[in-house]
Amino acid sequence: MSVAPQTVAPPGVDVASARPRIRPLRWVAGVVLLVLLAQFAWFVVTNPKFGWPVVGRYLFDPNILRGLGMSLLLTVIAMVLGSVLGVFLELGRLSGFRPVVWACTVYVTVFRSIPPLVQLIFWFNLGYLLPRIPLGVPFGPTFVSWPTNSVISSLTAAVIGLTLHEGAYMAEIVRAGILAVDGGQRDAARAMGFTARQSFVKVVLPQAMRVIVPPTGSEFISVLKGTSLVSVIAMADLLYSVQVIYNRTYEVVPLLIVACAWYLVVVISLSFGQRRLERHFGRGQR
């Protein structure tokens, strides 16, 4: 068996007093980055077209805050419904019953492939294909029906589009978490007399959460940013509220900075919460 060679200090050299070698290229790169950062900061502060007084005036505008609240509400609804849908989709793919497996696999493939913007526009214009939404016996009589355009509003189309899109991605995240749990854990749970449902809820799912939580947090942030797409269907989210104001005042850049500022605040806050959840579910791995 070969032994790795050991580094021996030259005679007369005290290793304890050795200093790190100076790397001039790192210093040069650091100075260049510092100069570029200072130049960018000077450009942002001194350029009057950024309209910082306008930014300050509209930062806490009631319409902007209502739009921010709508974006957060859509994010929470889409993530909650999408997570529940994703769990059921993955349970269906793991069930072993072929028709259910195929149906869930087709769903995940289709809704992961179609961009969310296309889905939002499609659901908003569902009345073109289906003028009325019926309720009755399949291929039989209809008991009651409603006009599609009165049921599928901007809010309904946004919730449906974001939820269906998010359900497909959450199914893949849940799948990764479940497959990360060693199969011996399931066998041990069954040997202890647990049913399949108890094994999943009490043994598999708690261990899978360590893998599920990090990408779920990133997906939550992604959905929050994706809510800006609902502005194309006249949904009064943060971006739409900003657009309404700058279409009236023509102060495009300052109002976009307001939107960027709020997105930054919310995303940074969510990132801190995500790290806390990761530390909580990863306690046994540290």
CA pair distance 202, 189, nearest whole angstrom: 9
Per-residue pLDDT of the chain (286 residues; tens, 9 = 90+): 455 555 555 555 555 666 777 778 888 888 999 999 999 999 888 888 888 899 999 999 999 999 999 999 999 999 999 999 998 998 888 887 889 999 999 999 999 999 999 999 999 998 888 888 888 777 778 788 888 888 888 899 999 999 999 999 999 998 888 888 887 877 787 788 888 777 877 888 788 888 888 888 888 988 998 888 998 888 889 999 999 999 998 889 999 999 999 999 999 988 888 788 777 766 655 5
Residue 172 near residue 212, CB atoms below 8 Å: no
Give, in degrees to the nearest 5, the angle at Cα 133 between 127 and 138: 130
Distance between CA atoms of residues 162 and 223, nearest Å: 8
Angle of CA points 272, 278, 284, to nearest 5°: 145
CA dihedral 35, 40, 44, 45 (to 10 degrees): 0
Residue pair 213/285 in contact by the 8 Å Cβ criterion: no
Task: Using alpha carbons, select from 268, 281, 256, 193 the residue that is nearest to residue 58.
Answer: 256
Rounded CA-CA distance 286/273 in Å is 19
Residues in CB range of 70: below 8 A, 6 or more apart: 235, 236, 237, 238
Which of 42, 113, 111 shows the shortest CA–CA distance to 78?
111
